[in-house]
Structure 1
Amino acid sequence: MAFTYFFRDLHTLELICDHAIPDLRSKAELKIWDAGCAMGPEPYTLAMLLRDRMDQLDFEKVKIQATDIDGSDLFDKIILAAEYPREQVQRIPAEIFEKYFIKVEKRDSYQLTAEIRGAVTFQKHDLLTLNNIGKDFGLILCKNVLLHFNEQERINVIRMFDEALTEGGYLAMEQTQKLPAELEHKFEPVVSNARIYRKRRH
């Protein structure tokens, strides 16, 4: 299970909300794939940021599908329950924490609200199988994963993402990963200060 925490790389997540979401929110369903979700803080963080920018009706269209290769029992015990110990949530901004977390009785932990939990579904998935989990995603988020692959594996996985994205859909990667030269013709950069790309329309 990879290490992660709530509101990690907030800069990139906020840029995604600022640039991609206004362009995608008119769709009947806003499909997002978070590939390599670890213990769940990233997709849940994105869900909270989106909820803060959307009314209830718009947010009901958000469907975040989060995947990770991990096979431990943490996947079921922590991620699906969306319950986290105090030390994992204490650095979350107070206004966010108060809106979206509820104290769990008789345990020193906190659970995300049903509205946020309901926007995210999880499944175990190995990116290197190159099997898509679906089609027509408006946004694919893959951060802190690609650096573990070799160059050809990165090319293959990003090509798979391209096939899973709808035309004009967005791909966000970790800051350390450049888009492989072989795939530059498929995407256009959205901003200069983060690895956010938009699939070119044909």
Structure 2
Amino acid sequence: MAFLVLHAAWGIIDATVSDLSCGRSWDAVHRVRPRAPLTCRECQHGMVPVRSPRGLRFFRHAPHAPRCSMAGGESLEHHLLKLELAQAARAAGFYAEYEVLAPNGSWRADVMATSTDGKRRVALEAQLSPITAEDVQARTDRYSGEGIAVCWFGVAPRPWVGSAPRFCSTAQRRLGRLGR
């Protein structure tokens, strides 16, 4: 599942915003024939626009996709938490982008929130799987080394809580209902 894909003519499109970030509607890519020219930003395999029964819009790899971190490595709950984080950043007046990769490949932010003047960046990390406090600190330090603040988000107490800026949310129960 992915929220961002590359369109051959329109560039990067975002399923989570009404105009797909390119001035087009969801109907311009969803269930059109011929299929919209969409590819994964990571592996360049074809992508298919999907709408869940509850209306969540996202992209899935077309059949026979290669191994790719965007091809199923994250749970639905993780994707929904990233969606919630991006929406919160946008509501706070920030620009939000999913899966932002460092120029040197040393990190990938789940959501990168950037102030409208471009001077402040905050990586918003949805951390639902187990991770050590040392790994959280190392990843936090990589962001800090590039002048990027980071905040970690989870839904349950974990051993890393207390080692980095973080929020523990009960919103996951509500988010889980969105994906059904």
TM-score, normalising length: structure 1: 0.30
Say which structure, 1 or 2, has more relative contact order (CA 8 Å, 6+ apart).
Answer: 1
TM-score, with normalisation over the residues of structure 2?
Answer: 0.32
- More helix per residue: 1 or 2? 1
